[in-house]
Structure 1
Amino acid sequence: MTDRESTIAWHELLETLGGLDGSFLTGDRAVSDDRHVADGYRMLATTLGVAFDTYLFADPGRPRWMDINSPGRPDRRWGGDNTDAYYCMCPVDPKRRYRISGNRGDSVYFSVTAYNEPSPGAWSDKVVAIVRDDDVEMDADGNFSFDFGPTPEAAVLVTRDYQADPRTGRPVDWRIEALDEPQPFRHGDAETAAALRAAGAWLKTMFAILPLAVGVRSEDVHSLGHETSHSANEFADPYQVPDANFGWSARDACYAYGSFVLEDDEALVITHRPPACRFWNLVVWNQFMATPGVADARSSINGHTAVPNADGSVTIVLSKGMTAHPNSLTTLDYPLGNLAFRWFLADEVPARPRARLVKASDAPTAVD
């Protein structure tokens, strides 16, 4: 056996990969259908690609933005997938100075958030700094430029670019350059081993979270002989993200999560009253926080595409197929999965979205 650290770290990574599918094949979090098993393996491949981009191939002295979520890339749909937004990531050195520039395109909200890294490969648990679109000066064409750093604790930058319609909108054109000379180029044994181990640590955390639980339907709760705090076909209370959070959440956002369990002839009628905010949307996820088949299905709706009711509330009809309602969403025939509401720069934490389970034939077909 070689004593090279990169060889040892490579085999450690292979061993990690070889056991991660246990998170969705066995135990309390095992998924129940073949589609979610297949999604689990796709998520393994997706997160491995992101881990390599951000740990093995990144260089804080020679920065570049890397796609980590994209409406158009099936290999970049993970970790709180959002079909209306583009996300980029760039590891940085807290002692270095950077210049971030670009053009806003057709974004309705964009920002750059700096996060810490408690240890190599560990997920962030703190927002270090945030620069949003209304913090920067832009010319008449939407061009902007600002300097960032040095910033203690900043280990990674994440951009967010939300679009009213990502199919037609122009994404933000992000650029970044280091204002200090980079360290000498080194891709040696020690550096490669450290990067592979960081990637492995990152993957382990991802699959310690995934797959997400799906709630129990109310008619099944009583048969268990106890109440459960996580019921299917309803939402938890919305909350505002604090500075101390886990996993690169957006400081500007409020979130509310739920899950669905639907029969072929059922629909979930969801109604909520959006507060004044820059952007909101509802996204349908599988149990791996991803939205498959976005080119073939309407699996998200936002404040720009939703048709409101006369009183300003919004009703959304979710079913395994599409219905006649203008705010219809499909699960793409998935019988169960998860749901995520987001509200950006909301004037107040929104009220809890209401959901009621009905027969698909009884679901509304028009706004109120």
Structure 2
Amino acid sequence: MHTEADSCINEWEAFCDELKKSGREILQAGTDMDEVTRADGLRYLGRLMRGGVEKFVEYGDPADPMAYKIYHEKIKWGFDNPDSIYNMATISGDRDYVLTGNRGTVNYFNISTMAMGVDGRAAITSFINDTDMTFDENGNFTLAISSTPKDGDCLLMSPDSNAFMIRQTFNNRAMEKEVEATMRCTSPGAGNGALEVDAVVDNFRKAGKFFTKTGKTFLDLTHRLMNHVNEMPEADPVYMKAMGGDPNYAYFWSSFHVEPGQALLIHLPRVPACDAWNLCLYNYWLESLDFHKATVIINKQNAVLNPDGSLTMVVSMEDPGVANWLNTCGHTWGNIMMRWTKPEEVVAPIPELVQLDSVDWESKLKKWV
């Protein structure tokens, strides 16, 4: 006779079996990489598992939405942005919500709803910039989120929406105050707070599928980027839209490969006015390198421009003794992403691989011709 206890045991075993099978497939993709990348990969599996459980099991109730930080120093995947905070909540397009809070002093933020799958892809279903919202003299705001129009500021989502996000982008995380917000569901039928076995079983299934499918999505992207080693082309806007990329960003990306004694120089002939920009290093698994331990990101706040207004960044294993060094943290292989936020002009980065013992810094620390 089937019991609820059996369903819980069976789901736990199925969840563990999926982690075992998919984890092996993900790690096998990195077996030819260096030791530090293989170590990253094992840690990455733990982060993917934790990310899936947090998203679907801990924060998976659309009747009780909580805007938690989906990425931070210890959980990240899929080209996370260390200069951003992503507050995400589970919602349902057939329910109404109210978001109240204070905008803080963050340089730029937006709020969106999405139709998000378990494979890391997300179609934006509604979107509002901070500049289009109403704030009182203290920076407080109220925003309705619904599939039907409401009075005041309203984020009008489509019925298939299942995720909500506040995306905040900082120039100086230490000095700017983040958005503080609380979300509540105003639709009836929230229940009495008791967990239901069927709901938890379903959420564990989603967490397992997230582990498998999100892992595959970003592994496929890594392989795609390895067709552009040390090149920095512009990211395909259609692809970025399908992944839930910020419509106010322009993205450039590439794999990088630098051996000891080499450096990848990334040059901007000019830095246009913009809300924000950054360039960040990532490992093979598309996690930002450990930004709390080393300088792996250059942005509008900390970049040192050349005397003529151009900018030269240096990606290498060893400190070259010049400004704008990005530390690969022992990685010879990895990935790079550059983001422009609302730029007056999109300037493409120019990469060049050089030998550190013979590079002509006088010519490289000015506009390249």
* Higher deviation after alignment, 142-151 or 331-340: 142-151
Instruction: Give the alignment partner of residue 258 of structure 1, picking from 239, 254, 259.
Output: 254
Partners of 2:89 and 2:170 lie apart in 1 by: 21
Counterpart of 2:105 in structure 1 is 106
Counterpart of 2:177 in structure 1 is 170
Instruction: Give the alignment partner of residue 268 of structure 1, picking from 250, 264, 285.
Output: 264
Structure 2: which amino acid aligns with 1:344?
T
Structure 2: which amino acid aligns with 1:207?
G
Counterpart of 1:356 in structure 2 is 352
Give 1:141-160 correspondences, 5 Å limit.
141-150=138-147, 151=157, 152-160=159-167
Give 1:339-350 correspondences, 5 Å limit.
339-348=336-345, 350=346
Give 1:174-253 correspondences, 5 Å limit.
174-184=181-191, 185-211=193-219, 212-213=222-223, 230-240=227-237, 244-246=241-243, 248-253=244-249
Partners of 2:125 and 2:32 lie apart in 1 by: 36
TM-score if structure 2 supplies the norm length? 0.86
Shift of 1:331: 0.7
Unaligned ranges ≥5, structure 1: 217-229
Structure 2: which amino acid aligns with 1:104?
R
Report the identity percentage: 24
Structure 2: which amino acid aligns with 1:43?
Y
Partners of 2:131 and 2:286 lie apart in 1 by: 29
Shift of 1:317: 1.1
TM-score if structure 1 supplies the norm length? 0.86
C-alpha spacing 1:240/1:304, structure 2 compared with 1 (3 Å): farther
Shift of 1:214: 8.2
Counterpart of 1:33 in structure 2 is 34
Give 1:51-130 correspondences, 5 Å limit.
51-58=52-59, 59-70=61-72, 73-74=73-74, 76-117=75-116, 121-130=118-127
Counterpart of 1:161 in structure 2 is 168
Residue 326 of structure 1 contacts residue 367 of structure 1 at CA under 8 Å; is this kept in 2?
Answer: no
For the residue of structure 1 that corresponds to 2:109, the secondary structure is strand
Unaligned ranges ≥5, structure 2: 148-156
Superposition RMSD on alpha carbons, in Å? 2.5
Instruction: Give the alignment partner of residue 329 of structure 2, picking from 326, 329, 332.
Output: 332
Counterpart of 1:224 in structure 2 is none
Shift of 1:54: 1.4
Structure 2: which amino acid aligns with 1:95?
D
Provide the aligned length of Structure 1 versus Structure 2: 347
Partners of 1:6 and 1:204 lie apart in 2 by: 20
* Per-residue Cα deviation, 1:8-55 (whole angstroms, up to 9, x for no partner): 22211101111223234335x545122212211211111211211211
Counterpart of 1:298 in structure 2 is 295
Residue 117 of structure 1 contacts residue 125 of structure 1 at CA under 8 Å; is this kept in 2?
Answer: yes
* Per-residue Cα deviation, 1:215-255 (whole angstroms, up to 9, x for no partner): 66xxxxxxxxxxxxx23211123454679513x32222221
Residue 65 of structure 1 contacts residue 89 of structure 1 at CA under 8 Å; is this kept in 2?
Answer: yes
* Higher deviation after alignment, 82-91 or 323-332: 323-332
